[in-house]
């Protein structure tokens, strides 16, 4: 049994020292029993205490959605990370989970009411707002987000959000249509502009039986993100990076489409590496089966046209655009509204060019720093340089594909070209490669910023 007060052996300010650090382990782990002194010790419920940063005082706000059933697990995980958690429930949340459940897992009476005299006498709501190092709201319903956006203070949780200077993180959860609704999206934008951090929602099967974006991020991932030091010291700190990833799909009829073998792994790795380097990252992804890396906003698209629309919207205030998607070059001239029947031995599809996302952004008036990818089966250098020039890029990362190389692999190698140089990044895991690429992007981005404008995009000799 260990005493949580002996956490002091954990390293200071989130940085580990000694053996754990030397072994490159993210956390020292101690198997521990509940020892907050507030709860009787359960017979067999060991928890793993991740000894990371100083204990953080967290208000966990729970609002009224079905995902509230996952929030007791989030409490547990925040405590595992060494947090002191005070749960505050909205009235709606109590329809899904009882305050007693949260009291049992947090070891503290749950706060539910702004007008509770006894609770207010113990710690008034303003005192509670000052106590918190961080406010986490999971799940955050569409309704609560709207009230937060408009500054309501008609219940305890909304009042705490207004009265606290602590950073606020919300994990939205709702039906996909509610998430996509223009009112919700306008609130999302407003909340983001005010520095509120959104984690998710994710895509998947929903409690209502529908499939789409609206699921709450899993508690383990929320806790991990809360305890991951936010960017600041990284090479892309303060910059907004937009990344495209995965394949696109061009519909033929309601059941068929044209696509390609891209897994999205490289683009997702670049997004993760950029986020680790301190950037705000927007990932625009075609249909892939990969979880969104922590702390990244993912926009899901299907066709080249949709990817272009999303990219144009996002690059307006971006510093760097990395196009790692394998975008369809062609689309059907006509999409059949009914399933096409096999009426003849051969059939011809009439195709026209799909928009070129990267080239379109390259032609815009003041494009961000542009990085392209070139997956080639032959003449890698020549084709890559042609694309560097033709699409008005700052850098291009090229590799050979086909014959077991490139697609759907965990490893890759790249040659990166820019106007007056190149660098080989040798075969390694895609995430290690992405981190090297991000270092290079940051270096070239800074150099470009110092160049006179006229020099920035002079053509290279393709030879
Ligand atoms: N790209 C894009 N939109 C397209 C096609 C490509 O944004 N419609 C981007 C890719 O994300 C990549 C770069 O352009 O960063 C090069 O893509 P690639 O498929 O290698 O080349 P294409 O320009 O499509 O030319 P080709 O298929 O003839 O090699």
* Structural domains for the chain: 55-226 (3.40.50.1950), 240-333+350-455 (3.40.50.10300)
Ligand 1 pocket test, pick from 308, 310, 358, 390 with the greatest ligand atom count within 8 Å of Cβ, gives: 358
Ramachandran region, residue 200 (left: φ > 0; alpha: ψ -120 to 50; beta: rest): left
Ligand 1 pocket test, pick from 387, 394, 396, 414 with the greatest ligand atom count within 8 Å of Cβ, gives: 387
Pocket lined around ligand 1, Cβ cut-off 6 Å: 244, 304, 323, 325, 327, 329, 354, 356-358, 372-375, 387
- Strand ranges (DSSP E) for 210-279? 211-215, 240-245, 250-253, 256-258
Cis peptide leading into 139, omega within 30 of 0?
Answer: yes
What the block records as the tokens of 386 is 């042609």
What pLDDT, on a 0 to 100 scale, did the predictor assign at position 450?
84
Minimal-distance CA residue to ligand 1 atom 17: 374
- DSSP string computed for 373-430: EEEESS-HHHHHHHHHHHTT-SEEEEEE-BTTBSTT-SEEEEEEEETTEEEEEEEEEH
Give the contacts of 410 (CB within 8 A, at least 6 positions apart).
265, 429, 430
Residues in the chain: 463
* Integer Cα distance of 306 and 319 in angstroms: 21
All residue ranges of the chain with pLDDT < 70 are 1-55, 229-233, 403-408, 453-463
Closest listed residue to residue 394, CA positions, set 433, 354, 442? 442
Alpha carbon distances (Å) from 296 to 107, 122, 243, 274, 285:
32, 39, 10, 10, 12
291 is catalytic: no
Residue 150 Cα to ligand 1 midpoint, Å, equals 43
What the block records as the tokens of 22 is 């030397």
Ligand 1 pocket test, pick from 285, 325, 396 with the greatest ligand atom count within 8 Å of Cβ, gives: 325
- Residues 99, 142, 114: CA angle, nearest 5 degrees: 40
Mean pLDDT, all residues of the chain: 84
Q: Active site residue: 32, 208, 332, 333, which one?
A: 208
Count the helices and strands in the chain (H runs, E runs).
Answer: 15, 21
What pLDDT, on a 0 to 100 scale, did the predictor assign at position 121?
83
Contact call for residues 39 and 33 (beta carbons, < 8 A): no
* Integer Cα distance of 33 and 4 in angstroms: 9
- Surface-to-core class of residue 288, CB atoms within 10 Å of its CB (0-12 exposed, 13-18 middle, 19+ buried): middle
Cis peptide leading into 82, omega within 30 of 0?
Answer: no
**Ligand 1 atom at shortest distance from the alpha carbon of 324:** 11
What pLDDT, on a 0 to 100 scale, did the predictor assign at position 42?
37
**Ligand 1 atom at shortest distance from the alpha carbon of 390:** 23
Q: Parallel, antiparallel, or unpaired for β 280-285 and 297-300?
A: parallel
Give the contacts of 164 (CB within 8 A, at least 6 positions apart).
59, 129, 130, 132, 135
Closest listed residue to residue 373, CA positions, set 391, 336, 398, 338? 398
């Amino acid at each position: 049994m260990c005493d949580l007060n002996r956490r002091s052996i954990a390293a200071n300010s989130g940085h580990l020292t000694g053996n754990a650090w030397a072994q490159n382990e993210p956390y020292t782990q101690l198997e521990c029993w509940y020892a907050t002194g507030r709860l009787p010790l359960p017979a067999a419920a060991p928890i793993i205490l991740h000894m990371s940063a100083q204990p953080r005082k967290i208000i966990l706000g729970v609002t009224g959605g079905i995902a509230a059933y996952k929030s007791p697990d989030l409490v547990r995980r925040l405590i595992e990370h060494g947090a002191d958690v005070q749960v505050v429930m909205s009235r709606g949340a109590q329809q899904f989970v009882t305050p007693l459940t949260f009291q049992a897992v947090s070891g503290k009476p749950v706060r539910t009411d702004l007008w509770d005299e006894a609770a207010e006498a113990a710690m008034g709501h303003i005192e509670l707002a000052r106590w918190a190092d961080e406010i986490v709201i999971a799940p955050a319903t569409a309704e609560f987000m709207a009230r937060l956006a408009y500054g309501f203070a008609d219940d305890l949780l909304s009042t705490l959000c207004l009265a606290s200077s602590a950073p606020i993180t919300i994990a939205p959860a709702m039906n996909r249509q509610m998430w996509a609704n223009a009112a919700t999206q306008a609130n999302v934008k407003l909340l983001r502009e005010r520095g509120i951090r959104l984690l998710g929602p994710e895509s998947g099967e929903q409690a209502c039986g529908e499939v789409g974006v609206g699921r709450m991020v899993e508690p383990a991932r929320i806790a991990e993100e809360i305890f991951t030091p936010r960017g600041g010291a990284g090479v892309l700190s303060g910059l907004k990076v937009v990344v495209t990833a995965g394949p696109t799909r061009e519909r033929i009829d309601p059941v068929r489409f044209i696509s390609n073998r891209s897994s999205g792994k490289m683009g997702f790795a670049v997004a993760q590496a950029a986020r680790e380097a301190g950037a705000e990252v927007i990932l625009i992804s075609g249909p892939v089966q990969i979880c969104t890396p922590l702390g990244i906003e993912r926009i899901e698209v299907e066709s080249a046209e949709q990817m272009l629309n999303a990219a144009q919207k996002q690059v307006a205030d971006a510093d760097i655009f990395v196009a790692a998607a394998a975008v369809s070059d062609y689309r059907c001239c006509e999409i059949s509204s009914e399933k096409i029947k096999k009426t003849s031995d051969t059939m011809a599809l009439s195709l026209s060019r799909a928009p070129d996302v990267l080239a379109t952004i390259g032609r815009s008036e003041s494009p961000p720093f542009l990085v392209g990818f070139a997956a080639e089966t032959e003449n890698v250098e020549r084709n890559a340089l042609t694309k560097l020039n033709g699409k008005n890029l700052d850098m291009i990362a090229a590799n050979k594909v086909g014959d077991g190389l490139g697609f759907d692999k965990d490893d890759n190698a790249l040659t990166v070209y820019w106007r007056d140089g190149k660098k080989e990044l040798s075969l390694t895991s895609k995430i290690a490669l992405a981190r090297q690429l991000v270092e290079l992007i940051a270096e070239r981005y800074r150099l470009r910023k110092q160049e006179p404008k006229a020099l920035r995009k002079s053509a290279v000799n393709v030879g």
